[in-house]
Amino acid sequence: MSARGLHDAPEQSRSGVTSSAAANSGIARSGQGSATACANIALAKYWGKADRTLNLPAVESISLTADSLKTETTVHFDSELATDEVVLDGAFAEGRSAERITRVLDWVREEGGLRSRARVTTYNTFPTGAGLASSASGFAALVGAAYQAAGLDVDAAQVSRRARRASASAARSVFGGYVRLAAGLPGDDSLAAEPLFPAEHWPLRMLIAVVDRKKKATSSTDGMERTRLTSPFYDAWVAEAPKYVEEIRQGLAARDLERVGRFMERSTLAYMASALAADPGIVYWKGSTLDIYHRLRLEREELGLPVWMTMDAGPHVKALCEEADADRVRALMHTLDANIEEVIEVAPGPGLQLHTRHASAC
Q: Least separation, in Å, of the C-beta of 45 and ligand DP6? A: 4
- The DSSP result for 67-116, as a single string, is EEEEEEEEEEEETT-SS-EEEETTEE--HHHHHHHHHHHHHHHHHHT---
Cα separation, 36 vs 351, in Å, equals 9
- With b for 16 or more beta-carbon neighbours within 10 A and e for fewer, the 61-73 pattern comes to bbbbbbbebbbbb
φ, ψ for residue 261, nearest 5 deg:
-65, -45
Binding mask 221-250 for ligand DP6 (x = CB under 6 A): x-----------------------------
| Residues 6+ away with beta carbon under 8 Å from 54 | 165, 184, 186, 187, 188, 189
Task: Return the residue of 73, 121, 220, 231 that touches ligand DP6, per CB under 6 A.
Answer: 220
Rounded distance between C-alpha atoms, residue 158 and residue 150, angstroms: 14
Q: How far is the CB of 130 from ligand DP6 (least distance, A)?
A: 12
Contacts (CB under 6 A) with ligand DP6, residues 122-141: 135
Give the residue among 262, 39, 32 at the shortest CA–CA distance from 172: 39
Rounded to a whole number of angstroms, the minimum distance from the CB of residue 299 to ligand DP6 is: 25
Are 24 and 13 in contact by the 8 Å Cβ rule? The answer is: yes
Least Å from the CB of residue 42 to ligand DP6? 3
The count of chain residues that interact with ligand DP6, using the rule CB under 6 A, is: 14
Q: For ligand DP6, which stretch binds (CB under 6 A), given 167-175, 184-192, 254-262, 323-331?
A: 167-175
- Positions 34 through 93 that interact with ligand DP6 (CB under 6 A): 42, 45-47, 55, 61
Select 77 or 234, whichever has its Cβ closest to ligand DP6.
234
CB of 137 to ligand DP6, least distance (A): 11
Among 19, 158, 169, 289, binds ligand DP6 (CB under 6 A): 169
Minimum CB separation of residue 190 from ligand DP6 in Å reads 17
269 CB neighbour count, 10 Å cutoff:
15
With respect to ligand DP6, which residue has the nearer C-beta, 32 or 268? 268
Positions in 269-328 near ligand DP6 (CB under 6 A): 312-313
Closer of 129 and 151 to ligand DP6 (Cβ): 129
Vertex 126: Cα angle to 125 and 129 (nearest 5): 130
Choose between 264 and 321: whose C-beta lies nearer to ligand DP6: 264
- d(Cα 226, Cα 280) in Å, to the nearest integer? 8
Smallest CA-to-CA distance from 343 within 63, 136, 132 is with 132
Contacting residue, 104, 168, 260, 340, with ligand DP6 by CB under 6 A: 168
CB nearer ligand DP6, residue 20 or residue 61: 61
Q: Assess contact for 155 and 15: CB atoms under 8 A.
A: yes
The nearest distance, CB 47 to ligand DP6, in angstroms, is 6
Q: Are 180 and 193 in contact (CB under 8 A)?
A: yes
Burial class (CB in 10 A: 0-12, 13-18, 19+), 175: buried
Nearer to ligand DP6, 71 or 220 (CB): 220
Q: How far is the CB of 162 from ligand DP6 (least distance, A)?
A: 13
Residues near ligand DP6 (CB under 6 A) are: 42, 45-47, 55, 61, 135, 167-169, 220-221, 312-313
